[in-house]
Each structure stands twice: as structure tokens, then as C-alpha cells.
Chains A and B, each alone.
Chain A
Amino acid sequence: MTTSYPPASTSPPPIAQVGPVAWMRKNLFNSWFNSILTILLVWLLGSTVINFVRWAFSLAQWEVIPANLPLYFVGRFPASQYWRVWVLVALLAALAGQTWGILAKAAPRLFSRPVLIGLAIAALTAVIFPTPPLYRLLILGVVLLVAASAWIGWQIGSKTPGFGKWLALAWAIALPIALWLLLGGFGLRPVNINDWGGMLLTVFVSVISILLSFPLGILLALGRQSTLPVIRWLSTAYIEVVRGLPLLSILFFASVMVPLFIPGNIRLNLVIRAIIGLTLFTAAYLAETIRGGLQSIPRGQTEASRALGLSTPLTLGLIILPQALKVSIPAIVGLFISLLQDTTLLLIIGLFELLGISRAILANPQFIGRYAEVYLFIGLIFWVLCYAMSWGSRKLEQSLNTTH
């Protein structure tokens, strides 16, 4: 090398820079290029924000949101039966709080500062959201219920280690109770599933689809890994064909073709057909996710369980699958997020889920042209749901991280 080295420096080390000015010099104006970029971005961002605020507070007509709140959340569910939805929400809030508490049992403090801020924001939203006073109280109650049951779950979880299993059972029991509350019968007034809409339909369809696709997805994943050629080919063909097709074509298949496949005298509800379509679709993606989990389990695990004398079904059920499913939890949550977003496509086959009901509201002459307000509101709901799920899955991944 011909470059001459500078003489050994005798100057003191640079002083650690603190303070906003130093921070800005370091992070925003450290070169001429970055300075130009920063100024450009600030100008762009500033004008966008100013325009948005001006629009939001002077031009936007937000009354389209509070005027249609029941439609957004439960569709045309009969108003006299709303209490059933509230009972369900309370039940789920209590269970979710318990689960959160149990999962966070290792944490030194349950209500750390970000959690407290989150709860405060939720409570504040409940108070300032323009709903009847009764509903504000109810939302506030739900937030409190989550916090309280989380605290109880945290207390129990740190004392009795086996409590998690009972919680899984509680979730399993909650499902039929939820169906009973929503559909009626057995003493409750029956509600037609066609009257469900909005967020109720979105969440219901995605939860049921992912639950139904689980067994099918596990079978397909095992089938694709199988040493039996016929089973492997059948599973692979199914997975690859379904993954190669757009979801819209699967939904089209479900709404148009499924009636052809069943005996002519049975008529299937459109919601059920949509669930069939989403289940067939999700199972293929779930199968690939679980296959990834299966592949991550070292061969030694199979060999060890064989050496212990376990048969193939027992090896799979007791040794391989539990580990594989645990590994694929983050990916499964990702799948659930995309399924929740994909339910918006149901509007194309004529169901009034969250986005479909917005289109219906926008078709009302009273609210015509209020696109920005309605879509921002719906977008915020989806964003909060999906972001919360991905955040939760990251946390879960950290707490389950048992490196081999």
C-alpha cells in the first residue's frame, strides 16, 4: 500500500455527544446528502400532516362513523339481542386476560410501562369514543376486565404451573358457548346467520376457518412428508394447486361450484360456503407452515422415540408434532393475520363483512362520497387487530424461545 498513515493520534478521544442538537447532527445532518434528504422529507411530511389535519378537522364529516357503529360491529344483528354480544365480548376478554397473565408469568412485573400506556390509551378511547354513555361504560368495563383477569392469571400462573392446560380447555369450551350466544336456540331467540355482518362476521369467519383448517393442514403436512408415494403425491398436488390459485378463484369455486358438488336438495348458506372455501385455501398454506416446523425437528428425535419402542402414530403425536407446532406458532399467527385480511374478499361474493358493510353504508345516499372517513376507520380497525396480533406473536416467540 502506498497510502501514508497519519501519525499516531495524541488527541483525546471524542467527547460523547449528547443533547438534541448533537443528536440531530448525528442522525439527520451528517452529510450534505442526508441534509438535503432530511429537509425534503420534513417538507413532504409537514405538508402531508398539515393537509391531513386541516381535512380531518374542517372538511371531514365524521358522523358517518357513530351513526353506523352497530352496522360496523355486528351488522344487522337484532338490536334487542346486543346483550348477547356483550356477554360474549366479556367472556373472551376474561379468557384473553387470563391467557396473557399465564404467558407473562415469568415476567417480573405484569403492568410494565408500555402495557400501562396501552391500557390507558384503550380506556381513553373508550371514554372519548362517540357512543351512548352505556356503551362507554361497557367498553371501559371490558378493558378493566382484561387487566383484572390478566393480574389474576399472572398470580395463579406463578403459583400453579399446570394451570395453562385448563386454560386451553376453557378456550375449547368457549367456542360452543360463543356459537350458542350468537346463533341462539336452547332458550335464546334464534338469530339468522345472514344477519351477521361487520366485525362479527369477519372475526367469526376467520376464527372458524383457521380452526377447521388445522386438522386438514396437519394431515396434508404429514402426507407431504410421508414415505408412502401415493399419499405424498396426493398431498403435494393439493397443496401446490391451491397455492397456485388466487383466493378469489377459490371463493368463486366455493360459492358457485360447491352447490354443484352436494346433492341438489341440500342448500348451503353463503357464509358456510365461504368458510369451506377459506378452509380449503388456508389448509394448503398451513400445511406448508407446519411442514417447515416438521423439517426443523432433528432426525434424532424420531430415532430416539423409535428406540423407546413408540409406533409411528405415537412418535408423531407425542414427540414430533408438539415440537413442530410450537416452532411454527409465529408463522401460524402470520397466516391468521393474512386470513383476517383476506376475509375482505368475501364482499366480492356478496357477504357483508367489515369492508362489505362499509360499501353498503357508502351506498346510502345520506353518506355518499364519505370514502376517506369510512375507509380510514376500517383501516384503523384492521391495523389495530393485525398489529396487535403480530406484536403478540413476537412476544410469544420470545417467551417460548427454548433453544435446543
Chain B
Amino acid sequence: MRFQLTDDQRALRDGVRDLLAGRFDRDALRTAVDTPGHLDRALWRALGDAGFFALCLPEADGGVGLGLPEAVLVFEEAGRVLLPGPLVATHLAAGTVPGAATGESVVTAPAGELLPWRDASDVVQGDATGAVPLSSVDPLTPLHKLPGPHAPRSPEAVLLTAAEQLGSATRTCELAVRYAGEREQFGQPIGAFQAVKHLCAQMLVRAELARAAVYAAAVTADPVEIATAELLADEAAVRNARDCVQVHGGMGFTWEADVHLHLKRAWVRAAAGRTTRETEEELAAAL
């Protein structure tokens, strides 16, 4: 048993991190925030060229031929930088919807009672009848609301969303730690105060537990493990973003700080899956 990243997996993660740092830096993030509903097609195609959407597609079909663990690492990186767009739906449509694998098509699909990015997408996979627009809380995710009962998301969609949540939870922990080490009050960095220090420690603990759950679910693809990953990653992303706001104090309550973008996206992602109640019931039924 070697439950650690392999050298190849590490290299993949670092490669994606570098790619995103180059193609979607903070300026790009802020441009995206300032132009709600607009999807950067050039970026989408660049992601396609890098194999982002074709990662799990067999090599015989023109894909990269990797598995869920690799996809999870890539989506974790996407979550870290708040990469916008219907990433999960397009990734899962690779091989079935023409152009999805290469990033020429943007594909969206219902997620719970929500339909993200409908207007900017080329293809909607699934029933979008009666969708009405919402004024989305997340400036990076335009939303429609769907009427009536909705089909459950695929286990892969749930897991990749959990991976994005994990990336966001890790990132807000890093942002809080950085701020706590820089910001001084009462003559010392606020990170020296136990009240602040303990908030940061709790953020790391949440993220690391979620990481173990998400990675294990990627390796086993077991439904109960995926439910575990979903529950803990949602919690880590939302709670860490809240704590990150708290550590930033007044700054954390401004539009200018990136923290609120993490919180709002975490809310949207959490709402895209099953409700917490449903996940907990599934986990109880498995006992």
C-alpha cells in the first residue's frame, strides 16, 4: 500500500498549477469577476489543448488515458484558483459530445436544481425545460434554477466537485496563514495570537481530512467513499472560507479580497450536489 502521490501524479499536479498560474492569474480572475456570464473561450481551448477535458478519455479515442485520481488532482488545482466555467460537465462529456474533449465546445448539465452557465454553453446535457435565471450569488457562476424533481448527479461529477472544494479549502487556509503572518496588531503579527492561530490550525485539519477522503474515493470509486468525500469537502470549503474571512477581519468583508469568491463558489458547489441531509442519510444507510 502506498497511499501517496506518485512522481507522475506530482508532476501532473505541478504542471497544471503552472499552466493555471500562467493562463488564469489574479488579473484574469478579476476580469472574470467584472464580466459576469462571460466565458473566456480562448482559455477554454487552452485548457482543452493541455488535456484538461480529455484526461480520462482512452488514448485510442484521442484522450490522455488517465484515471479518476489524476482527474481529482487536476480539479483540485482548478478549485484552488477558482477557474470558472462548467468544468465538470465538459470534462465528463469528453468522448460523447463533439468538441468537448478539445475545449472547442462548452458543455453544461443540471447539477441538483441548478443549471450553471446555460447561456454561455454550446450544449446542455440533460433536461433544462423550464429553467429560469437566478441572480447568482457567485459572480463567477451564472445560474438557472430548474423546476421539479431532478436526476442525481453521476458519482464522477460528485467526486470532481469535491476535488474542487478541496482545492478551495486548501487555498483559503493558505490565504489566511499568509495574512496572519503579515498583518500586525498590538505590536506583533496577528498569527502569533492563539485565537487566530487556532482558527488556522482548524482550517488545515479540515482540509487534510477532506484530502484523505477525496483521494481515497478517487482510488476506490466506492459510492460510500464518494459520499464521505462530498460531505467533508463541502464542509471544509465552506467553513475554511468563513474562517478565512474572519482572519482577514475588515479586509475579509470587502469585495476586493478574494475570500468571498471562494465562499460563494463553495456554496454553489455544495448546492450542486445532494443536500447534506441526503448525503448523511446515505452514509447512515451504509452502516
Q: Do A and B come from one complex?
A: no
Q: Which residues of B contact A (CB under 8 A)?
A: none
Chain A residues close to B by CB (< 8 Å)? none
